[in-house]
Amino acid sequence: MTIVIFLAEPSAEDARQQEIALRELEGLELRVVTYPHPDALDEAERLQPDMVILRHERPGVTGFALAARFRKSAVLRAVPMLITTSDATRDQIDRHRASPGRADFYLTLPWSLAELEETIRMLAARARDKAALMDAAGGGPVDPPRLPSRASASPRRGRSEG
């Protein structure tokens, strides 16, 4: 199964670096679509990806605000979502995690390729679960089950589930 990842980064160079890292993951068939523009919602709805990766630090609109827009979309509501950040505090992440526009997972920079790979594999499993739930529901939108939240040991670095 090929996993289609919609990657919204603030610049083409950031997107290129992230795409290179994603392509190094072993055993996953990935199709990565990068979109550096501030409002990527229309493009993501057109593509209907299996998962979304958003960078929080973006010109014009934060990744948190963009995630809220994605969650309001009937097409993207149940798509597993990862937000990466280099400057959001643990408190900001926790507040966003409690909001309706929350992501499924958060990675704070710097993250390792191993952390990214583990997160992508978990989100890929959620994407497969979402597809199975949608098939069982006759193709309609279904919110996938959420995993319990795990907080990172470090307030500035690490992974955190939504």
Instruction: Determine the pLDDT at residue 17.
Output: 80
Residue range 24-34: mean pLDDT, rounded: 70
pTM of full prediction above 0.95: no
27 CB burial (10 A radius; 0-12, 13-18, 19+): exposed
Tens digit of each residue's pLDDT (9 = 90 or more) over 133-152: 666 766 554 444 343 333 33
CATH topology of domain 2-161: Rossmann fold (3.40.50)
Question: What ranges do the domains of the chain cover?
Answer: 2-161
Instruction: Determine the pLDDT at residue 4.
Output: 83
